[in-house]
Amino acid sequence: MNQATLTMEEVQDYRKDGYAIYKKQLFSPQKFSELKQIFEEQLAEKGNKLSDELDTPHFRDERLLDFLMSDEVLDLVEPIIGPNIGLWSSHFICKDPYTGRATPWHEDSAYWQGRLNRFDKIVTVWLAIDRSWKENGCMRVIPGTHDNGFSDYEDVDGKANTFSTQIKGVDESKAVYFELEPGECSLHDSRIIHGAQPNTSPYRRCGYTMRYFSTEAKVIPENNPGFRIWLARGKDVAGNPFVNV
């Protein structure tokens, strides 16, 4: 299996547009099968949580660190944010058939404000566990909107959506839909405007988000109580409170 990597042209397009789509298998079939099994276990044990609320599963199951700290993922991330990489977070995001909630237009950075001192080198790898297609509510972005990260928001129905706010005045005609087969992935800047429509289809849509930051950024401990971060590759530049491994 070829090692995952981005071409120079793909990196340049990412810097311009704020995203990239990697239409190749990120992991070997065996490794992907192991990850999917972990997800199914987490889903079975979620209790009263909704399927889209399985945040930071690696806090509960450190087997996921084998994937989050893997060369397959970090070799995709390094050309974008550099050689010094911190693991920021991960999240199983699952939209159940017919009832999966919409994800309003948002920037990840807006929900992390005050938790880090900069947002220009944070990337999310969105790995498709299931087929992720327009019909079952795949992720969509507004290209080139990653120059700010703190737009104006308005309230929306918190029961029908994964968030209770959304960005005002988004031109949806400019949206690009990330259609992925299982095992393929996308990458996006933390500041880009993105979201997803509800899943009204009979097909489940699950993805695993793996989020990384350049260690040039400082994670502010007092604004991250109980939160854990790992040094994934390279060295710590800003003096961050990494988990010792």
Q: DSSP assignment of the chain, as one string?
A: -PPP---HHHHHHHHHHSEEEE-S-SS-HHHHHHHHHHHHHHHHT-TTS-GGGEE-HHHH-GGGHHHHT-HHHHHHHHHHH-S-EEEEEEEEEEE-TTTBPBEEEE-HHHHSBTTBS--TTEEEEEEESS-B-GGGT-EEE-TT--S-----EEE--TTTBSSSEEETT--GGG-EE--B-TT-EEEEETTS-EEE--B-SSS-EEEEEEEEEETTSPB-GGGSTT--BEEEES--SS---BPP-
The span from the CA of 115 to the CA of 34, in Å, is 32
- Tell me the pLDDT band of 6, cut-offs 50, 70 and 90: very high
Domain extents in the chain: 8-233
138, 177 Cβ separation under 8 angstroms? yes
189, 123 Cβ separation under 8 angstroms? yes
Query: Rounded to the nearest 5 degrees, what angle is found at the Cα of 229, between the Cα atoms of 227 and 235?
Result: 155
Q: Check pLDDT > 70 for residue 1.
A: no
pLDDT at 52: 72
Section 167-180 average pLDDT:
97
pLDDT at 2: 54
Instruction: Copy the structure tokens of residue 24.
Output: 């190749």
CATH number of 8-233: 2.60.120.620
Q: Check pLDDT > 70 for residue 145.
A: yes
Beta bridge partners of 205: 95
For every residue of 125-175, DSSP letters joined together read EEEESS-B-GGGT-EEE-TT--S-----EEE--TTTBSSSEEETT--GGG-
Section 157-162 average pLDDT:
82
The phi, psi pair for 97, rounded to 5°, reads -55, 135
Closest to 35 measured CA to CA, from 57, 16, 17: 57
Beta bridge partners of 128: 207
pLDDT at 46: 84
Q: Check pLDDT > 70 for residue 245.
A: no
The phi, psi pair for 4, rounded to 5°, reads -65, 135
pLDDT at 81: 98
pLDDT digits (tens, 9 = 90+) for 38-94: 999 998 998 777 777 789 999 999 999 999 999 999 999 999 999 999 999 999 999
pLDDT digits (tens, 9 = 90+) for 175-214: 999 999 999 999 999 999 999 999 999 999 999 999 999 9
Section 212-223 average pLDDT:
98
pLDDT at 199: 96
Q: Check pLDDT > 70 for residue 132.
A: yes
